[in-house]
Amino acid sequence: MQNEEGKMVDLYVPRKCSATNRIIIAKDHASVQINIGHLDENGMYDGRFTTFALSGFVRAQVIVKYPCSPVYA
Protein backbone atom coordinates (compact mmCIF):
# COMPACT_ATOMS: atom_id res chain seq x y z
CA MET A 1 0.00 0.00 0.00
CA GLN A 2 1.21 3.53 -0.74
CA ASN A 3 0.55 6.73 1.18
CA GLU A 4 -0.16 10.15 -0.36
CA GLU A 5 3.57 10.81 -0.82
CA GLY A 6 4.01 7.59 -2.80
CA LYS A 7 5.97 5.80 -0.08
CA MET A 8 5.26 2.15 0.62
CA VAL A 9 3.56 1.59 4.00
CA ASP A 10 2.23 -1.55 5.65
CA LEU A 11 -1.29 -1.91 6.96
CA TYR A 12 -0.15 -4.23 9.75
CA VAL A 13 3.29 -4.46 11.34
CA PRO A 14 3.55 -7.55 13.56
CA ARG A 15 5.19 -7.25 16.97
CA LYS A 16 7.90 -9.59 18.28
CA CYS A 17 7.95 -10.99 21.79
CA SER A 18 10.76 -9.40 23.79
CA ALA A 19 11.44 -12.66 25.66
CA THR A 20 11.40 -15.22 22.82
CA ASN A 21 11.73 -13.15 19.61
CA ARG A 22 8.68 -14.95 18.22
CA ILE A 23 6.23 -12.94 16.15
CA ILE A 24 3.06 -12.13 18.09
CA ILE A 25 0.15 -12.96 15.82
CA ALA A 26 -2.88 -10.71 15.57
CA LYS A 27 -5.13 -13.30 17.26
CA ASP A 28 -2.98 -13.54 20.42
CA HIS A 29 -5.37 -11.72 22.73
CA ALA A 30 -3.34 -12.66 25.84
CA SER A 31 -0.28 -10.68 24.72
CA VAL A 32 0.62 -7.40 26.40
CA GLN A 33 2.78 -4.42 25.56
CA ILE A 34 4.37 -2.52 28.45
CA ASN A 35 6.20 0.82 28.42
CA ILE A 36 8.84 1.12 31.16
CA GLY A 37 9.82 4.72 31.88
CA HIS A 38 13.43 5.87 32.23
CA LEU A 39 14.44 7.79 35.35
CA ASP A 40 17.15 10.41 35.82
CA GLU A 41 19.68 10.36 38.68
CA ASN A 42 17.07 11.95 41.01
CA GLY A 43 14.48 9.26 40.32
CA MET A 44 12.27 11.54 38.21
CA TYR A 45 10.72 10.40 34.93
CA ASP A 46 12.63 12.00 32.05
CA GLY A 47 10.11 11.47 29.22
CA ARG A 48 11.80 8.44 27.66
CA PHE A 49 10.61 4.84 27.79
CA THR A 50 11.43 1.34 26.58
CA THR A 51 8.67 -0.84 25.15
CA PHE A 52 8.42 -4.56 25.91
CA ALA A 53 5.97 -6.89 24.19
CA LEU A 54 5.19 -10.26 25.80
CA SER A 55 3.25 -13.00 24.05
CA GLY A 56 0.43 -14.90 25.68
CA PHE A 57 2.64 -18.01 25.65
CA VAL A 58 5.25 -16.32 27.87
CA ARG A 59 2.59 -14.99 30.24
CA ALA A 60 1.07 -18.49 30.55
CA GLN A 61 4.49 -20.00 31.34
CA VAL A 62 5.03 -17.51 34.16
CA ILE A 63 1.69 -18.44 35.70
CA VAL A 64 2.54 -22.16 35.48
CA LYS A 65 6.05 -21.66 36.90
CA TYR A 66 4.95 -19.48 39.85
CA PRO A 67 1.42 -20.67 40.75
CA CYS A 68 1.70 -19.59 44.42
CA SER A 69 2.73 -16.04 43.63
CA PRO A 70 0.55 -13.50 45.48
CA VAL A 71 -0.03 -11.74 42.15
CA TYR A 72 -1.96 -14.74 40.80
CA ALA A 73 -3.49 -16.00 44.05
Predicted confidence at residue 69, as pLDDT, reads 59
Predicted confidence at residue 39, as pLDDT, reads 96
Closest CA to 16 of 59, 55, 60, 50: 55
Residue 55, phi then psi, degrees to nearest 5? -75, 165
**Between β-strands 15-16 and 23-24, what pairing exists: parallel, antiparallel or unpaired?**
antiparallel
**Could you tell me how far CA 67 lies from the centroid of its own chain?**
22
SS3 label, residue 10: coil
Hey, where are the domains in the chain?
31-73
Its pTM surpasses 0.85 = no
Stretches in the chain below the pLDDT threshold 50: 73
Q: What is the pLDDT of residues 5-22, one digit of tens each?
A: 888 888 778 899 999 999
